[in-house]
Structure 1
Amino acid sequence: MGRPPLRYPETMRGIPLQSVIVWNSTSPPALPLRINSTCGVCNRDLSLDVSHGRYHDEDTWLAVTHCPNTQCSAVLRYMGFNIEGERFTRLYVDPSYEDARLPMSGIDLAPERIQKSYIDTLATLNSGIPSAVATLARKTLEGIVRLSYPNAESLRDRSLFKLIRDLPQSMDLGRPINELALAMRENSKLSAYFDLEQDTDAETARKMVELLEYLIEYLYVIPRRVGGIKRDFD
């Protein structure tokens, strides 16, 4: 029995066939060699080498590559269908920019290590790998919390849950962080989301990223913007 035909996922969106700018037409069906596209995660305009792509049962072309932006590196999938003559006439990409979760406004105001960790988490979410989001979200959350302590280097052996629990005692962070500290107590429902032994579905992964964005905005974005406005009026 032959392999079942490839079908494009419902999450894929069509892009213009003119996105393929170089073809190898030495033998039909023609093989795309380079595509001009936009990363569905970081929104960078790209020129991608897709010469490694192959036809499946001679009627469906597939190429899987990565965004060359080192701050993103998202997995990008391109599929071509409906061969007429020497070339296919329909081209799809996943993830597409319309479907991807965009980086939060003001992320550039966070510390560099938090920016990178957050972008890695977001790229994993947009690449459709929710099981890996928990690992990266936990890493990002831990980085956010540790950097909020004035003596972060002395806390290497403290667990994430204890760091969050004790953070309101270390500095005045206000009601949102106090509520997070209560919600993240060990064995709570919220803390279970960040347990690396638990399965993570797409909806949970999205909520974890939202939590990170709220914290980044509260701890870094709003204070810096308010400080900038204050300096303007001084």
Structure 2
Amino acid sequence: MRPSSVSIGNKTSKGGTNTHGQFRPKSVNTFCPFCSSKVTFSLVNSNPTPMPTIWPAQSTCPECEESVNFIVYYTKQDGNSSVADISMFPAPSHLIAPVELPEKLPAALSSAVRDAEAAYRAGLYSPAVTCAGRALEGLLKHILREKDTSLYKLIDIFCESEEATKPIKKLSHTMREGRNVAAHFDENIIPDQKSAEIMIELLHYLVSYLFLFSEKAEKLSTKLR
């Protein structure tokens, strides 16, 4: 599904000035969500009222002349505001939304995943593939507690371990428990909107795991041959 907006990171910005206590980038360099050209968007303030944590801006693609909106997010340190992130609206159709990472994931692993995403967003596809493989190796080493093992061997060890089946087993049992709550009357438990949302999300994960992942892997394998 195409996201309505996408984070393009704070490293895409170029130049800028300090206005109302904020550093406002002069421009950002990224892909146009309409024509897919990698261009420099000159940013113009789109809200005359200063807001302490964000700066809404807009621009026009120099190639296709479509209007694109941006939001610059700020973080405060020692009384100064610095650019924490930049979002673009709408998201380019070819971009992939950043994955939600667990808080307990080590910083080095989170960085490895984000590096792969950042390389992809920047159009650096060969480095993106390399970084994705590096992230996979790091994730498997973390799960299996293996250090001096090749990625090929790590995959074999992982597939033979309980760690490979534990997430899908937990997901399936969670859905079973949710189904039981809804299917059997209990005056103390009434499924609400949030419960239904979680069940649908789990169902999506299950479908992806059982069918889509294998299909995508086969397509990639065919392309690489």
Question: Would you call these one fold, judging by a TM-score over 0.5?
Answer: no
Question: Using CA pairs below 8 Å that are at least 6 residues apart, which structure has the higher relative contact order?
Answer: 1
- Smaller-chain TM-score bracket: 0.3 to 0.5
